[in-house]
Amino acid sequence: MTSSEHFRALGKLLRCAESFSRAAVWAGGALILASVLLISFDVVARKLFGFTTGGADELSSYAFAISTTWALAFATLQRANVRVDVLYQFFPVRVSALLDWIALVALGIFMAYLTYYALEIVQTSWTSRSAANTPLATPLWIPQGLWWLGLVWMCITVALMLVRASLALVTGDIALVKSICGVRSTREEAEEEAAAGERMVKGDAA
């Protein structure tokens, strides 16, 4: 394969990663919504009928943890993570691009360590047959495993971003580096808000 073919393949992988991450965000949102409905039903049933479903708070905590890790990859791909740019905005473009790359490397290292130690937690729960000290007695490896898989996907996504950004940095494609891991500009945020407003207007019109 030629260099351009490699670049196209990496770009396609990143687009696939973004599509999958978007689906994961929707699934996480559905989990949160389901937990809200369950808690609401539990409160109403307890108040009006004097019974409780039991485990609503436990299941909602699992839903929150799982949806959080599965949303990390999409947030990173969208460059929605918080970056302190007080000095960053005054640096030359090439310097800021290098800092963007270094920030992505640091994020990848952090996520690798976090995922490694999270796996130890899941393995411990599996080998010791740990269960929640609740009426549901949920085997802890199940929610912990789903939580850990979100971290694994985050690592895979960051690795793809890092490979693509590294090749772009080496070839001098600074614009691509910025689009992969740079801080979102005010113009980009304004354009996204305008597009969201347009979609809302079209939805209301329909």
CA gap 177, 180 in Å, rounded: 5
pLDDT one-digit tens code per residue, 67-95: 999 999 999 998 887 777 777 778 888 88
- CA 136, 142, 144, 150 torsion-angle sign: negative
The whole-number average pLDDT for the span 33-48 is 87
C-alpha dist (Å) from residue 7 to 1, 125, 168: 10, 41, 9
- CA 76, 82, 87, 89 torsion-angle sign: positive
- Work out the number of other CB atoms within 10 angstroms of the CB of residue 74: 23
pLDDT one-digit tens code per residue, 10-38: 778 888 999 999 999 999 999 999 999 98
What value does the mean pLDDT of the chain take? Answer: 85
In the chain the first and final C-alpha atoms are separated, in Å, by 47
pLDDT one-digit tens code per residue, 149-184: 999 999 999 999 999 999 989 888 888 888 888 887
